Amino acid sequence: MTIPLHTFEPTGEPCIDSDMYLRLGGEAKVDFAHWFGLHHSVLSYTAEHIAREAVVYDGVERGPFEKGVYFLLHGDRIAYVGRSQCIANRLLVHYMNNRPFNRYWCFGGIPLDWLGHVEGYYIKRLKPFLNSKLEIYSPVLDKVAKEYKALWDFEAKELAEQSE
């Protein structure tokens, strides 16, 4: 099973599809909180979702040659959160360095300038045991996440009721 690459496909939205969009300045520039407000699902992945969707990594099947945030898992436990401009190459480096992981999960569709903020958000939220940068976080993402927490809780409740 390969990682679902739909998160790396063009969305038709310039602020997601083009790294240059944020560097244009003027009216074309989208502020950080506004972008995450529109695309809050980027912040809604839970440890359970990541563990459920993670795929086996053995160094042979490479992973996506795209930029994004990735999660290394040791069993069902998230061991490490990272970001890369080429996830496939980064996974191979971790594998060759004997980092203790046997599965991974990743997603893309994030402007390049904000990969670090999203990575820091998940490091703070999930507290993976191999990350040494646990102090990194983004107050802007925390604010946006709190604003949408009620929405995520409502959606989760609706899904639970539908499955009953």
Q: Answer whether residue 6 is part of any domain.
A: no
- Alpha-carbon distance of 19 to 114, in angstroms, equals 10
Q: Answer whether residue 55 is part of any domain.
A: yes
Number of domains in the chain: 1
Angle (nearest 5°) at CA 59 between 58 and 60? 90
- Alpha-carbon distance of 87 to 76, in angstroms, equals 20
What's residue 26's pLDDT? 40
- Alpha-carbon distance of 78 to 74, in angstroms, equals 6
pTM: 0.68
Q: Kindly report the number of other CB atoms within 10 A of residue 38's CB atom.
A: 13
Q: Answer whether residue 4 is part of any domain.
A: no
pLDDT digits (tens, 9 = 90+) for 66-106: 888 999 999 999 999 999 999 999 999 999 998 889 999 99
pLDDT digits (tens, 9 = 90+) for 31-54: 666 666 666 666 778 999 999 999
* CATH code of 50's domain: 3.40.1440.10
Structure tokens at 63: 């992973």
Cβ atoms of residues 120 and 110 within 8 Å? no
Q: How many helices (H) and strands (E) does the chain have?
A: 6, 4
- Domain span holding position 118: 12-163
Q: Answer whether residue 5 is part of any domain.
A: no
Q: Answer whether residue 58 is part of any domain.
A: yes
